[in-house]
Each structure stands twice: as C-alpha cells, then as structure tokens.
Amino acid sequence: MEVIVRPNAEEATRLAARVIAREIQTKPKLVLGLATGRTMERLYGMLVDMHRREGLDFSLITTFNLDEYIGLPPEHPQSYRHYMNHHLFRHVNIDMRNTNLPDGVAPDIDAECARYETAIRECGGIGLQVLGIGRDGHIGFNEPLSAMLSRTRAKALTPTTIRQNAPLFDKPDEMPKRAITMGVGTILDSKRCLMLVTGTEKAAVIAKAVEGPVTSMISASALQLHPNCRVIVDEDAAANLENRDYYDWIFLHEPEWQEFH
Ligand code: GLP
C-alpha cells in the first residue's frame, strides 16, 4: 500500500483524477471500478473537464460500480445509477451499454448478485477500482464484519451509514436499509485499487484502515492485503497518520510518482 498526502481536498482529488486518466490513456479498454458518495462528485467533475478540454477518451472503457441501494429503481434521484449518469456518464463519450451497476430492483437479489460477479469475470476482471471510505470503515457497502473473502451480495446497512447517507435523500426516512455491494473479495481481485479520502471526519477511520490491524471491523483495512493499492488523502484526513514522513518521501522520490509532481 502507498499513502500519498496532498495539501487539500482539491489537490488530492486532482491527483486521483490524473492517476485514473493516465490509466485510461495507457489502457483504452480499461475495466474501471467506480464508487459513489460526496467525495467522488468533484473527482468525476474533473474527469469530465479532462474529457472536454483534453479529449480524455472513455469510448472503449467498461465500468462496474461498487454498489446500489435495494429497492431504488434506476430513475430514482438517489439511486447510484442516477448519480453516475448525472455526475459522469452523460457528460463523457462512454458507451452506456458498457456501464454496469447492480440492479437494486431485480426480482431475485441473489441471482442479480451472481450475475454481477459473472459479468465482472467475463470482462476479464476490474483493472482499476476507485474507492472511497465510509465513516464506519466500509468500502462499497461492506459494513463491519463483512468477510474478507465476501463476493457481491445483499448487505444490511449500519446506523452509522444510514446517518451518513440519509441527509442526501429528500425524505431521509426513505433511505433503503439494504444494498447490493461487491464483496471485499471482489474488490481485492481488482488489479489495482485507488482510494480517495478527504476531510477531518475521515481522519480517525483512515488511520485505522491504513495503519491499524487488518480486521473485518474496518473493511477498508483489507486493502493492506492488496498488492497494488494507492491511498490518496488530504491534510485533514491525514491528521492521525503516524508514518507521515515516509509517505511524503515516497511521493517525492519514487519514480512512479515523478510524472504527477
Ligand atoms: C457510500 C458508498 C461508499 C462511499 C461512501 C463515502 O456509502 N457506498 O462506496 O465510499 O459513501 O461517502 P462520502 O464520500 O459521501 O463520504
């Protein structure tokens, strides 16, 4: 795992956008795993800008989102399908047929989860998985005690997550209490992972995820087992990290980061 600290949320997000853009440029048929949440809104805004200004080409990529609420149809304004269309897909030259999210209103949820796993496998697996982190340490909607080897499945949301996301709903009480999420094992199968974390409210949980023990109580800590995982944080989110000097040294001196200075 590599941790990179940038001075503020804007610069952290810009670095993440540049890493993703580089991956798309070098692998035009990239299978890209995508996340939702407030942190990702600016990231997608930057990718849209890169498409408009620099011609970043999404035409051959395939995407798989981490999760979707159970019970929300795609046209619901708080569904993650709607979020993705609104923040990214409809502003770039992606082929909508190559954008994938779990179907939260599928009649058979277990069958839908199995279908999603198969679809990822048939595309050759995820090349780069973009991730945020929830306040309870979840990645996707892998709430505490999610098995490290879990696959795509239905998961009950924790009170912490419901408190975190309910304000995004016009009627907070209508937030679904369950979601379909890729499993921790599904995420760990991605060739590369890129996590973006900003803001003081994430400082405690990201320190546990990165520097604490690997534990299913903090699903994001499973990323310590991943052979190619980069974590980009801003100063606020980095406040509780202990090994800061080493992380700064890596960004300054490791050859792979030189092009991003
Ligand atoms: C949701 C998503 C997660 C995301 C999290 C962070 O819970 N399921 O994938 O990481 O939100 O959200 P935010 O960026 O709003 O803090």
Q: What percent of the chain has pLDDT over 70?
A: 100
Active site residues: 67, 136, 138, 143
Contact 68, 74 (CB under 8 A): no
Report the CATH number at residue 93. 3.40.50.1360
Name residues contacting ligand 1 (CB within 6 A): 35-39, 66-67, 132-134, 140-141, 161, 165
Q: What is residue 49's predicted lDDT score, i.e. its pLDDT?
A: 98
Dihedral sign from CA coordinates of 174, 109, 81, 19: positive
**Residues in a beta bridge with 54:** none
- Residue 228 confidence (pLDDT): 98
In the block, residue with structure tokens 């030189």: 258
Atom of ligand 1 nearest to the CA of 39: 14
Q: Residue 37 C-alpha to ligand 1 middle, in angstroms?
A: 4
Dist. CA 255 → ligand 1 center (Å): 31
How far apart are the C-alpha atoms of 201 and 212, rounded to whole Å? Answer: 17
- Average pLDDT for 50-74: 98
DSSP H stretches of helix in 27-79: 38-54
| 161 C-alpha to ligand 1 centroid (Å) | 9
Element (H, E) at 13: helix 9-26
CA dist., res. 73 & res. 213, Å (int): 38
Question: Rounded to 5 degrees, what are φ and ψ at 158?
Answer: -80, 160
- Whole-number pLDDT of residue 184: 99
Per-residue pLDDT averaged across 176-187, rounded? Answer: 98
Share of the chain above pLDDT 90, in %: 100
* 128 pLDDT tier (thresholds 50, 70, 90): very high
Structurally, the chain folds into a number of domains equal to: 1
In angstroms, rounded to a whole number, what is the distance separating the alpha carbons of residues 248 and 26? 26
Counting ligand 1 atoms within 8 A of each CB, the residue from 67, 133, 155, 181 with the most, and so the one to mutate, is 133
Q: Calculate how far, in angstroms, residue 36's C-alpha sits from the geometric centre of ligand 1.
A: 6
Domain that holds residue 31: 2-260
